[in-house]
Amino acid sequence: MIHDATNNMSWTKKHLLDIESLTAEEILTVLDTARGFKAVGERAIKKVPALRGKTVVNLFVEPSTRTRTSFELAATRLSADVINFTTEASSLKKGETLKDTARNLEALNAELIIIRHSASGAPHFLSRVLDAHVINAGDGAHEHPTQAFLDTFTIREKKGRIAGLNVTILGDILYSRVARSDIWALTKLGANVTLCGPATLVPKTFEQMGCRVTHDVAEAIRDADVINLLRIQHERQRKTMFPSIGEYTQQFGLTKARLAKTKPDAIIMHPGPINRGVEIDSEIADSSRSVILEQVTNGLAVRMAVLYLVNGGKSVANPAN
C-alpha cells in the first residue's frame, strides 16, 4: 500500500540554507528522520538506495576535513555518486566566479550541491542561481545548520528532550557559525541558552537572539544540563580578542576544578577540532561526560537525513525557498 505519510512530515524545502528560517517542526522532522538513518549505520550493510542515481557535489571553497568527509560518507551511504571539489584543486584559484563554477557543476547534472564558503550568504546566492538543491555546510560566521542538527540530535538522545534544558555555549561566539545555528535551533526547540566567554567574543547583542549573555564562567555552567564548548577561531579573528591562550584557558577553559562545580549529569559537547588544554582539559575530553565522538557519529546520521529530505523537497511547495 502507498502510505500517505505526508500528514506527519513537514519538510517541503528544496534547500537547507540556515536554521533561522526553519520552524521547530521542521527541525524535529530532521531529528526524527536522522534516528532512522543512525540505525542504518549500525547494520552490517550500511548502505540504502534512497539517492541511487543522484549526483552530489561537495563544493568546499573553504578547507574542511571532518564536515566534508561526513557529507561524503552520508551521500555514499545513500547510494549517491559524490564529486569532491576543493579550492586547492579548483578553477576558483584561476579566477572563475562561484556562480560559474557552480553552473559548470550543474551542467554535469549534479542534483545536490553541498557548499562550504568563507563568505556568509554564499549558499543563499547559489540557491537563487541554480536549479540544484543547495545545502549549506558552513558559510563564514553566519550558519552551519547540520552542526546544529547533530548537536540537538545528540542532546535529545542523551537527555530525552530539549525544551526546558539549560544549555551553555562557552567560547568564541562572535566568529562562530556553529554558535549561531545552535542558538537558533535550541531556542526554537525551547531550551534556555546561556552564552559565555570573553566580552570581546561574546557581545551583549546576542541577547537579541533570545539567549542570556554572561561573562562569569562559574555562574554560566553551574546549572547547565549541556555545556557546549567552542574552539577559538584564530583564522576568523581580525585582531587578538584576548591577551593570550594561557589567559583564555585560565579564565574560560573547562578545567577539572570548574567541572566539579557543575551538575553531575551535565554533558560536555564540542564541535571539533578540539584544542586539548585550551578550551577543554584533556582528561575531560576523554571522560564519560564527553559526548564529542558521539556527535561525530550523529553528524553522519543527520547529514543523511538532510540529503534525504531535501531531495524530496520541491521549490513549488515552498516558493519562499
Is 130 among the residues that bind other proteins (CB under 8 A)?
A: no
Read off the C-alpha cell for 117.
564558503
Strand ranges in the chain using DSSP code E only, listed in sequence order: 55-60, 81-86, 112-117, 133-139, 166-170, 192-196, 212-214, 226-229, 267-269
CA pair distance 75, 58, nearest whole angstrom? 10
Q: How far is the CB of 191 from other proteins (least distance, A)?
A: 25
Is 160 among the residues that bind other proteins (CB under 8 A)?
A: no
Is 8 among the residues that bind other proteins (CB under 8 A)?
A: yes
- Using CB under 8 A, which of 118, 187, 200, 311 touches other proteins? 311
Is 61 among the residues that bind other proteins (CB under 8 A)?
A: no
Q: How far is the CB of 181 from other proteins (least distance, A)?
A: 22
Is 314 among the residues that bind other proteins (CB under 8 A)?
A: yes
Residue 50 or 92 with smaller CB distance to other proteins: 50
**Binding-site size, other proteins (CB under 8 A):** 35
3-class DSSP state of 75: helix
- Pick the piece of the chain touching other proteins (CB under 8 A) from 225-233, 241-249, 253-261, 309-317: 309-317
Cα distances from 158 to residues 24, 185, 258, 259, 269, in angstroms, run 19, 17, 22, 18, 11
Is 9 among the residues that bind other proteins (CB under 8 A)?
A: yes
- Using CB under 8 A, which of 23, 25, 39, 65 touches other proteins? 39
CA pair distance 150, 190, nearest whole angstrom? 17
Residue in this structure with the C-alpha cell 537563487, named with its chain if needed:
128
- Using CB under 8 A, which of 28, 48, 83, 130 touches other proteins? 48
